[in-house]
A and B are shown apart, each in its own frame.
Chain A
Amino acid sequence: MRVMAQMGMVMNLDKCIGCHTCSVTCKQAWTNRSGVEYVWFNNVETRPGQGYPRGYEDQEKWKGGWKLDRKGRLRLKGGSRLHKLSTIFSNPRLPGIEDYYEPWTYDYDVLINAPAGDDFPVARPKSLITDKDMKVTWSANWDDDLGGAPEHGHKDPIVKKLGDKVKFEFEQAFMFYLPRICEHCLNPSCVASCPSGAIYKREEDGIVLVDQDSCRGWRMCVSGCPYKKIYFNHKTGKAEKCTMCYPRLEAGQPTVCSETCVGRLRYLGLFLYDADRVAEAATVEDEHQLMAAQKSLLLDPRDPEVLAAARRDGIPEDWLEAAGNSPVYDLACKYNVALPLHPEYRTMPMVWYIPPLSPVVDALTETGHDGEDIGNLFGAIDAMRIPIEYLAELFTAGDVEPVNDVLQKLAAMRAHMRTKNLGEPADPEIAAAAGMTIDDLEAMYHLLAIAKYEDRYVIPTAHSEVANALLEEMPGCSVDFDSTNSDNPVGENQPVPVTIESFNLTKQRLEAQDYKDLDYKQ
């Protein structure tokens, strides 16, 4: 067993209102440059829908991720190393501008400078690629809220797979939003596809990054990632991807998408996992067993044996503490409500999703039923095969059982909290129906519904802890920088005051080569 730490994320899809705030703030922070106009490290797609880039889930077309060969060995779906090199001069599986969209701006100048006349001046769309006038026909979320679904909905690879069962007529349609970032996979096929070895997984936190100085623009990673979360910067000729905002994480702050999420539906925390068994888990033959295999890699951060092994493997104490408080571990492994996206790609993705109960609740309330009654909810979960099969194609390689289990837990939580809010006596049957206890149900409710900033984001920060310790040592510093300070209503981290003393301390901290060089008591 070799214990490694992995920064993970969980998104609670029931709470996503599809506002795209996460996408926009991420873009402002990271991809508001030329060359990546079309790039959304975070995108939010309406499902059913084609997603971004269009139809990226069709791996028979794009050949992303891994597969098992005839002898059951793990191989890149895109082909052997030799095959990759032989197709390097023109990559046959590279999505192009037509699969993403042609980025554009508007000729706003006309609005201001047009001479006075009878006609209203019009700001025409101009391509950011060719500068020419263009017709806008697609974008990263053109099919938002099922827009155009009767016409285009069947192009969704999952809808194709499920056949005619998914209906887009107004009365029968269901939908939900799926925000996506890079999965920072345990078994990343982008890394494996890079001919230069420029993409790497950070040993400390598992974040997958592209070394911009070693990338040579062979653009094989773009094809290799089944989630299409590596993008080609067409100006610099280098690959770029979501960095999980590592500069922010290192400073103890959540990613921009999490910080700004309107629904407060994102959770960040550590997983401890057994790095020695990743390949074994990714090689499990039965696709329905892949999620269980993936979960079996995740180690219980409260188990003394795991902790001892983690210490042996050099994971520092504060990281172990953070792992013990990890909301993502609890959601994925304790309450078992978070599911990985497309485990069948065998990349062992580390951004997890709590599937939405809302299609079920919506259907109930629209037909005049009580959407908080446990009997109704369970009945509807049983009856609503199609949305659940759809969710299963997304999260469990088509296995409806685990999705059913999660939805039943969410339904039980809903029903139980209703009785509680109405002051009715708690009915242990409700929790039991979903295989849980009342305590667990309430703890889960706490985490899903009302958790505070520091419960949603448990991010260990070696550095700021050093800095805080230094500040605490500062003579005459009256401000308390306890990072566990919980009565911060907005949820912002508190600003660090800049003083002459903190300047010298910062300098000392910057120049120090190791903890030991810093003169504060450990």
Chain B
Amino acid sequence: MNSLNNFLFIVFPYICLTSFVVGHIWRYKYDKFGWTTRSSQWYESRLLRWSSPMFHFGLLGVLAGHFVGLVIPESWTEAVGISESQYHVASAVLGSIAGVVMVIGLIGLIYRRRSTPSVFRATTRTDKLMYVVLGTVIVLGLVTTFYWQILGGGYDYRLTVAEWFRSIFYLNPQVQDIVVAPVLFKVHALSAFLLIGIWPYTRLVHVLSAPVGYLWRPYIVYRSRDDQPQAGNRDPRPGWEKPGLSGTRR
């Protein structure tokens, strides 16, 4: 049991996180051309119009909740005067709203993928895998929330799951913190790490390039034909000439 726990809650998360980091670097280096949302709006926009914003905005809310719940220790929120019960009510209410919005969006997205012939035909095998894993994470997360936080009296995961989660990033994983947690929390966390592991090989790479820089850059971009490779310009591969001829005018 111990070694299984060690594998599931130490080895597996590290494998997934490594895959996440190395995978992204590898993909950026070798497949910038494939780094895109692969938007399917050109095929269909009636369903996408509501499902995609619902999914994304809901998801961003849920992610913000996870950030607060997992990354900020309970002692900090108590220090600023938020008691655990207040926190619980706030997170259960806000989290459920965001979660429901997200799930309706997700159902819309998946229904759209399946029912629109052009979108279905543009769905790759990795898309399907991604949706299975993403769907699992989301369904498990939602079941956990409803079972423990709404039907049950509320489980203070911030003392167990969150401690374990942070300990992973301190490179000092505390397995004992997670093994005491209810099984729903465990499988939700594990499925989330699986999603993190496959992340860089799916269309989810688009998340890392969320274009916040757009808010600050000048509107019109100029680049010189002769510019040395800069942000976004691929280095010439060894053995390949830059397109165009060298020795161009300055």
Interface, chain A (partner B; CB < 8 A): 76, 81-82, 84-85, 87-92, 94, 96-97, 129-132, 187-188, 191-192, 194-205, 211-219, 232, 234-238, 247, 250, 314, 316, 319, 462-463, 466, 509-515, 517-518
Contact = CB atoms under 8 A, between A and B. Distances in A.
B219 A192 contact: yes
A213 B43 contact: no
B211 A195 contact: yes
B242 to A, nearest CB: 10
11 contacts: A96-B42, A129-B43, A194-B214, A200-B221, A201-B221, A214-B233, A234-B43, A237-B36, A237-B38, A463-B245, A512-B247
A253 to B, nearest CB: 14
B214 A130 contact: no
Main secondary structure of the interface of A (DSSP, over half): loop
A510 B242 CA distance: 10
B42 A234 contact: yes
A97 B46 CA distance: 12
A84 B42 contact: no
Contacts of A130: 117-118, 121
A215 B215 contact: no
A52 to B, nearest CB: 15
Nearest to B40: A234
Contacts of A205: 225
B52 A202 contact: no
A192 B220 contact: yes
A506 to B, nearest CB: 9
Interface of B: 32-45, 48-50, 52-53, 55-57, 117-118, 121-122, 206, 209, 211-215, 217, 219-225, 231-234, 241, 243-250
A200 B43 contact: no
Contacts of A195: 211, 214
A135 to B, nearest CB: 15
Contacts of B241: 510
Contacts of A515: 247, 249
| Most chain B Cβ neighbours within 10 Å, of A198, A247, A463, A512 | A463
Contacts of B117: 129-130, 132
Contact of A96 (B45, B53, B221, B231): B45
Nearest to B53: A89
A216 B36 contact: yes
Contacts of A191: 219-221
A238 B33 CA distance: 8
A368 to B, nearest CB: 51
B121 A200 contact: no
A462 B36 contact: no
Contacts of B232: 196-198, 211, 213-214
Contact of A232 (B42, B217, B247): B42
A91 B42 CA distance: 10
B199 to A, nearest CB: 16
Contact of B36 (A94, A217, A466): A217
A229 to B, nearest CB: 16
B105 to A, nearest CB: 9
Contact of B213 (A197, A212, A514): A197
Contacts of B118: 97, 129-130
Contacts of B122: 234-235
A188 B245 contact: no
Closest 10 CB pairs of A and B: A214-B232, A195-B211, A217-B36, A237-B38, A237-B36, A192-B219, A213-B32, A195-B214, A200-B223, A217-B37
Nearest to A219: B39
A50 B39 CA distance: 26
Greatest chain A CB density within 10 A among B40, B44, B206, B219 is at B219
A327 B7 CA distance: 73
Given A196-B211, A463-B245, A96 B39 contact: no
B218 to A, nearest CB: 9
A216 B68 CA distance: 29
A88 B215 CA distance: 13
A129 B244 contact: no
Nearest to A87: B53
B249 A462 contact: yes
B249 A215 contact: no
Nearest to A318: B249
B209 A196 contact: yes
A199 B231 CA distance: 13
A511 B237 CA distance: 15
A202 B42 CA distance: 28
A117 to B, nearest CB: 31
Contacts of B40: 234
Given A130-B121, A203-B223, A219-B39, A214 B246 contact: no
Contacts of A511: 246
B233 A203 contact: no
Contacts of B243: 247
Given A132-B117, A195-B211, A512-B247, A90 B223 contact: no
Contact of A97 (B34, B43, B244, B248): B43
Interface centre among B42, B50, B122, B224 (most CB of A within 10 A): B42
